[in-house]
Amino acid sequence: MSGGAHEPAAGLKLYHPPMSLWWWLERRAYFKIVVRELTSLFVGAFAVVTLLQIRAVGDGPEPYAAFAAMLGSPAFITFSVVAFLAVLFHALTWFPLVPTTIVLRVGEQRVPGNIIAGAHFAGWLIVSVVVAYILLRG
């Protein structure tokens, strides 16, 4: 019965299925998304490293040299590789989702999702090429 508020019929013995702690392992899609959410920790970590690096530059040549040495250590390189893969995963699984958040219209037709996602990938590629050019030209 309801009127204004909706609630279960009085006197029902409802069964509330328990939610498993491992629910995110039960569907491939859930797992993928939970992993993507976790990879944002690495995105954050990169940002923190960059901030620390800027502070080290500000502190003078010696602290910066020490910082650079730390960046070159095998442990950090391992971390960087893992973090890079995580960020890559994040970007690759995120861009295909972007079209649902953006509605673009040309005339009466909605711009198809793969064009919007494609534009994001293209933008990513262009930025990467520019960065690579700046870093590698010297």
Partner 1 sequence: MATYSCDLLIVGGGGAGLRASIAAAEARPDLDVAVVSKVYPMRSHTVAAEGGAAAVIKDTDSLEAHAYDTVSGADWLCDQDVVEAFVNEAPREMVQLEHWGCPWSREPDGSVAVRPFGGMKVSRTWFAADKTGFHMLHSLFQTSLKYKSVKRYDEWFVTRLLVDDGRCAGVVAVEIATGEIHSIMAKAVILCTGGCGKIFPFTTNANIKNGDGMALAYRAGAPLKDMEFVQYHPTGLPATGILITEATRAEGGWLVNKDGYRYLQDYALGTPEPKPVHRTMELGPRDRLSQAFIKEQERGRTLEGPYGHYVNLDIRHIGEAVIDKKLPFVRELCLKYANLDPVHEVIPVRPVVHYIMGGVHTDIHGATPIAGLYAAGEVACVSLNGANRLGSNSLTECLVFGARAGLAAAEFVDGAAPAGAAIEAQARDEEQRLRALMAKTDGTERIADLRSEMQSTMEESAGIYRAGDTLAAGGETLGRLRQHARHLKLEDRSSTFNTEFISALELDYMLELAEVILRSAVERTESRGAHQRIDFPARDDDKFLAHSLAYRADDGSARIEYLPVTITQWPPGARVYGKQ
Partner 2 sequence: MAETLRLEVSRYRPEEDSEPTLQSYDVLLDALNHVKNEIDGSLTFRWSCRMGVCGSCGMMANGEPKLTCAVPLTDYDPAQPIRIEPLQFFPVVRDLVIDMSSFLEKLSNVKPWIIRDDVEATEAVEFKQTPAELDAYKQFSMCINCMLCYSACPVIGLEPEFSGPAAIALAQRYNLDSRDKGKEERMDVLDAHEGLWGCTYFGECTKVCPKNVDPAGAIQLYKMASATDYLKSLLLPWGSK
Q: Which of 25, 27, 78, 127 binds partner 2 (CB under 8 A)?
A: 27
Are the C-beta atoms of 35 and 29 separated by less than 8 Å? no
Stretch that binds partner 2, among 22-30, 40-48, 63-71, 126-134 (CB under 8 A): 22-30
Binding-site partner at residue 103 among partner 1, partner 2, none, CB < 5 to 8 Å by type: partner 2
**CA 124, CA 118: separation in Å to the nearest integer?**
10
106 binds partner 2 (CB under 8 A): no
SS3 109: strand
**13-52 as b/e: b if 16+ CB within 10 A:** eeeeeeeeeeeeeeeeeeeeeeebeebeebeebeeebeee
Q: Which of 97, 126, 127, 130 binds partner 2 (CB under 8 A)?
A: 97
Tell me which residues touch partner 1 (CB under 8 A): 1-4, 8-13
Tell me which residues touch partner 2 (CB under 8 A): 2, 5-8, 12-17, 19, 23-24, 26-27, 29-30, 33, 37, 97, 100-101, 103, 105, 108, 110
